[in-house]
């Protein structure tokens, strides 16, 4: 059944892809870090000025923290985000010669970077599918569509990795995100408008997160 659901979503969202605007791995990493508890739309409003001011990992690493906070304030949690970005870029500049690591181990050692961020950077910047990025939309839809019985992001990721071929892991993330934004919303999904409603275990869906 999950195969039919994904086929339906592919037909509904043929252009599903990452919404964060970026040029290269470093900008992508910073944008994803800013997207925590913030919409991609808001991040895209903030990043042009940010990337104009800081063009390299060394620039971010040596940035005045208060100046950076002013530029990213509208993304929320800007104190922590600025601190993490600065610290992560210091490691990138000093340990990796300014290049964002292209492997899971290297990315996870960066402050403020967990598996979701690492998966997004690896798949979109380096073409490496090492996992499935589980954001709030993916978490909600994976549960509602019966792909998992868990609400734990790490367990959900493992369930999705076991369910779909590795070549599809990146696509799975953005198909679920698109459907979550458009139709399968929280708290009430628009089931009457859903292209895969006939394959969805809708019973009790209102009780599901």
Tell me the per-residue pLDDT of 97-135, one tens digit each, with 9 for 90 and over. 999 999 999 999 999 999 999 999 999 999 999 999 999
Cβ–Cβ under 8 Å, residues 157 and 131: yes
Q: Label residue 1 by pLDDT band (50, 70, 90).
A: confident
pLDDT of 196 over the 90 cut: yes
Whole-angstrom distance, CA of residue 44 vs CA of residue 47: 5
> Are the beta carbons of 145 and 5 closer than 8 angstroms?
yes
Q: Would the pLDDT of 206 be above 70?
A: no
Q: Are 157 and 147 in contact (CB under 8 A)?
A: no
Residues catalogued as catalytic: 116, 135
SS3 of residue 25 by DSSP: helix
Q: SS3 for 189?
A: coil
Q: How many CB atoms are closer than 10 A to CB 78?
A: 19
C-alpha neighbours within 13 Å on the C-beta side of residue 11? 9
- Two structure tokens written together for 4: 């039919």
Task: Supply the mean pLDDT for the chain.
Answer: 95
Question: What does the pLDDT read at residue 174?
Answer: 98
In this predicted structure, the answer to whether residue 204 has a pLDDT above a threshold of 80 is no
Angle at 118 between CA 180 and CA 18, to 5 degrees: 40
Q: What percent of the chain has a predicted confidence (pLDDT) above 90?
A: 94
Domains and their CATH numbers in the chain: 2-15+132-207 (1.10.1670.10), 25-126 (1.10.340.30)
Q: What is the pLDDT of residue 136?
A: 94
pTM over 0.85: yes
């Amino acid at each position: 059944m999950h195969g039919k659901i994904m086929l339906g979503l592919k037909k509904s969202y043929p252009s599903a892809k990452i919404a964060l605007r970026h040029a290269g791995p470093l900008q992508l990493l910073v944008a994803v870090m800013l997207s925590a508890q913030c919409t991609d739309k808001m991040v895209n409003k903030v990043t042009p000025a940010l990337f104009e001011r800081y063009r390299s990992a060394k620039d971010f690493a040596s940035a005045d923290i208060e100046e950076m906070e002013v530029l990213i304030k509208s993304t929320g949690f800007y104190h922590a985000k600025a601190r993490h970005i600065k610290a992560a870029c210091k490691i990138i500049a000093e340990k990796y010669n300014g290049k964002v690591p292209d492997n899971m181990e290297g990315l996870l050692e960066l402050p403020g970077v967990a598996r979701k961020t690492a998966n997004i950077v690896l798949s979109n910047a380096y073409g490496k599918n090492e996992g499935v990025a589980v954001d709030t939309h993916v978490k909600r839809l994976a549960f509602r569509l019966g792909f998992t019985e868990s609400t734990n992001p790490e367990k959900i990721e493992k369930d999705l990795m076991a369910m779909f071929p590795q070549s599809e892991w990146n696509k799975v993330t953005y198909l679920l995100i698109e459907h979550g934004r458009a139709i399968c919303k929280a708290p009430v999904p628009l089931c009457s408008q859903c292209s895969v409603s006939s394959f969805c275990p809708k019973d009790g869906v209102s009780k599901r997160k």
